[in-house]
Structure formats: C-alpha cells, structure tokens
Structure 1
Amino acid sequence: MLDAIREAYAVQPPDLFVYVPQTSRYWFAEVKGPGDRLSGKQIRSHDAITRELGVPVEIIEVRLRTVADEAGLAGATLER
C-alpha cells in the first residue's frame, strides 16, 4: 500500500516508522531540518497514508543548537 501511495504522489514515504512496544502505539514521522519545508506532494501523501492506512504521520522539526545555547551564553559577550 505504501508503494501505491509513493507512486501515486511521486514522493518517498515518511522518513521513520516509530513503534512503542509498551503501548503498542505506532506512527510515521517526517523529519525536517532548518529551512526544510513539506512539499504539497508530501502533505497530500501523508493525508493519504493516514486516510488509507489509518496510521498518523507526525512532523519532527530539528533545530540546531550550539554549545553556547546549551550553556545559556547565546548572544552574551565575555569581558576580560
């Protein structure tokens, strides 16, 4: 079924299939990095996956962080 959706919408399936054994919950995930956006084809294929397979597709947005961000120093200046 995923192959049929892939061919119909001319896109690859979502990046990940996530399964949590403790709860038997599962879903697909599409990973997007900074500046990366879903295409119209991806949105339509994700809707088809949810509608035809009954499996949700979640979007994971990756944000880059620096060591300064982690230390709470982003934007700070150091004085000598």
Structure 2
Amino acid sequence: THTSWWDKSEMTNERFGEELAPKYLSALEHGDWARADELEYVIRDYAVADTEATIALYEALLGRSYTPQYPQSR
C-alpha cells in the first residue's frame, strides 16, 4: 500500500492529529492560502492512503486480494 510522507517522516494518525492538522488550521486562520494548499495536498494523500489500507485489510480478512487504485508514486 501507499505510504504518506510529510516533513521527511512517515505520516501517522498521531502526527496527523498533533502536527499536521493544527498547522493546516493555523494556515486557514491566518489566511496563508499557499501553505494551506500545500498542507491540503498532504492531507488528501494521507486520507486516500489510509482509506486504501483499510480496504486492503478488509479484503484480506475476507480472503480476497485488493489492488490499490492510488498511484504509488508521483
């Protein structure tokens, strides 16, 4: 599955909640649209990767294979 990276480290649920989300909300609050757009890209990438991992796990539990639809690299 796809792994999301941000600031040279793998994105995790913990990092998302403690680091990325507050920076994104701060950028919105201060009208820093360029920074918000940059962080939004990371948020989307992480959300898609996390969703695909959940689908892969679900399919594996049912004994089926799953091929992620998300591009593995950009």
Q: TM-score range by the shorter chain?
A: under 0.3
Query: Over alpha carbons, which structure has the higher Rg?
Result: 1
Richer in strand (by share): 1
TM-score when normalising by structure 1: 0.27
Question: So what's the TM-score if we normalise by structure 2?
Answer: 0.27
Report the structure, 1 or 2, having the larger helix content. 2
**Higher relative contact order, chain-length normalized (CA < 8 Å, sep 6+):** 2
